[in-house]
Amino acid sequence: MTDDPAFNDFAVAQGQFDRIADLMGLESPTRRLLRQPMHEHRFQMPLRMDDGRIEIYEGHRVQHNDIRGPSWGGVRFHPMESIDTIRALAMWMTWKTALVDVPLGGSMGGVACDPHGLSVNEQERLCRAWIRRSGGLFGPARDIPSRDMMTTAQHMTWMLDEFEAVRGEHAPGAITGKTLAAGGSRGRPEATGYGLVYLVREALKVLSLDPASTTASVQGFGNVAQHFIELYHQIGGRVMSVSSWNQREGGAYAFRKSDGIDLGELRSVASRMGEIDPEKARGLGYEVLDGSTWLEQPVDILVPAAMEHQITKDDVARIAPSVRVLAEGANRPTTPDADAQLLEREIFIIPDILGNAGGVICSYFEQVQNNSNYYWRLDEILSKLDRQLTSAFIAVADLSGGKGLSMRDASLVIAIDRVATLCRERGWV
């Protein structure tokens, strides 16, 4: 843990909001309203363990703002979960849903626990307790929990089952990120990584670069990274290097091949959690390097798709002069001081709030399908996703070009303006 405010997510989120509010000349009541979450809930969750003991877990749900629609946001199971991170993520979710123009607000929740230390039955009871002990917070027209860090489609399906049992009626839109059979959406696994490729394609148009002549280096080899690579290869790009975490050694490795990586080949030597086996990769002809070297590759596009705080001010000098685009798949991969240096280097940034919004959009599609009880084909979902992200990109790029704002600031101005305008129209401020 560090005391550096650059690593306190809520301080970063509020600092970012204050800066944009100044830039927009936002009036005082709106500032005071949007700077804090509207509701915060903490609830105790007694859980009977397999050996008969009772453990007490603590759940949190923060609803930042729901003026644009029911609040929507993940449930995280993580031993180090902090209320400040949840507050920040709830605020960022309000901006993200507004930016991509889906009629939802922003919330986030979590339980401080390590699901790996719980049996399957204990995990099921924890998910059911999350619904029962939350005090009736949730519902398709109120607040919709979704899958997030260390929660799975199975967890979300147990939550839905409990919700419907308590309510005595079907309400599949109450929870998103469910299994397909329980009403999950086609395209959800692909949505975030493919969405990032649609945005990279648009960024390359702005820079007059042909995707087929570009190369990329990717941090991470999980859901977002693998789907990014899959579609980026289909549009002609070449990924030269990827990195992944190695649990046994408590560090990361980067894997590089001189003519570009082969996705199928690396998938065949990776675990379900996206951990690539270094020995097996070496056997396939990959160079195995220190994990942080993903950042130094002489490519056109860098794609952080692993975790937060991966590009700090000390890292920027390591980025090769060839890099033209930083496509943020992970949440908060770049610290604010690194961000300022990247702008000086004129690297085109697709900020996280836009870059990984494909997942939110597809979750919204899941809810729409659930509420109308009519399910779409994969090709329909992907083309709707492409249209929605592309129009968000064009709005951000136009504002950025027109007003001389960074892509990150332009994204936030659009999002905050949408929320603030509705607050005024509905008479909240």
Q: Which residues bind ligand NAD (CB under 6 A)?
A: 192, 219-225, 243-245, 252, 274-275, 291, 305-307, 329-331, 356, 359
d(CA 140, CA 160): 11
Shortest gap between Cβ of 10 and ligand NAD (angstroms)?
16
State which residue, 26 or 89, has the beta carbon closest to ligand NAD: 89
Give me the least distance between CB of 24 and ligand NAD, in Å please: 26
* CB of residue 337 to ligand NAD, shortest distance in Å: 20
Q: Cα separation of 345 and 216, whole Å? A: 18
Q: Are 349 and 407 in contact (CB under 8 A)?
A: yes
- Smallest gap from Cβ 310 to ligand NAD, in A, equals 7
Distance in Å, CB of 328 to ligand NAD, minimum: 9
In angstroms, rounded to a whole number, what is the distance separating the alpha carbons of residues 367 and 429? 30
Measured from the CB atom, the residue of 77 and 221 that comes closer to ligand NAD is 221
Nearer to ligand NAD, 26 or 240 (CB): 240
Looking at the Cβ atoms of 129 and 278, the one nearer to ligand NAD is 278
- Count of positions (residues) in the chain: 429
Q: Residue 201 or 332: which CB sits closer to ligand NAD?
A: 332
Q: Which residues contact 224 (CB under 8 A, 6 or more apart)?
A: 192, 193, 196, 305, 329, 330, 356
Q: Which is nearer to ligand NAD, 30 or 334 (CB)?
A: 334
221/348 with CB nearer ligand NAD: 221
Q: Whose CA is closest to 39, among 128, 138, 111?
A: 138
Alpha-carbon span 108 to 124, nearest angstrom:
20
Shortest distance, CB of residue 151 to ligand NAD, whole angstroms? 11
Closest residue to ligand NAD in the complex (CB): 222
Q: How far is CA 143 from the centre of its chain?
A: 18
Residue pair 105/34 in contact (Cβ under 8 Å)? The answer is no
Question: Could you tell me which of 411, 215, 249 has the C-alpha nearest to residue 325?
Answer: 215
The end-to-end CA distance of the chain, in Å, is 38
Q: Closest separation between CB of residue 193 and ligand NAD, Å? A: 8
- Which string of b and e fits 256-291 if b means at least 16 CB within 10 Å? bbeeebbbebbeebbeeebbbbbeebeeeebeebeb
- 53 or 272: CB nearest ligand NAD: 272
3-state secondary structure at position 362: helix
In terms of CB distance, is 254 or 420 closer to ligand NAD?
254
Which two structure tokens, joined as six digits, stand for 161? Answer: 């089952």
Which 3 state secondary structure label does DSSP give 110?
A: strand
Give least dist CB 353 to ligand NAD, A.
10
DSSP letter assigned to residue 334? B
Based on CB atoms, which residue is closest to ligand NAD, 6 or 307?
307
Residue 88 C-beta: closest distance to ligand NAD, Å: 12
Tokens standing for 317?
């000098």
Q: How far apart are CA 376 and CA 18, in angstroms?
A: 41
CB of 144 to ligand NAD, least distance (A): 15
Q: What is the DSSP letter of 327?
A: E
**CA 137, CA 41: separation in Å to the nearest integer?**
9
Is residue 130 within 8 A of residue 111, CB to CB? The reply is yes
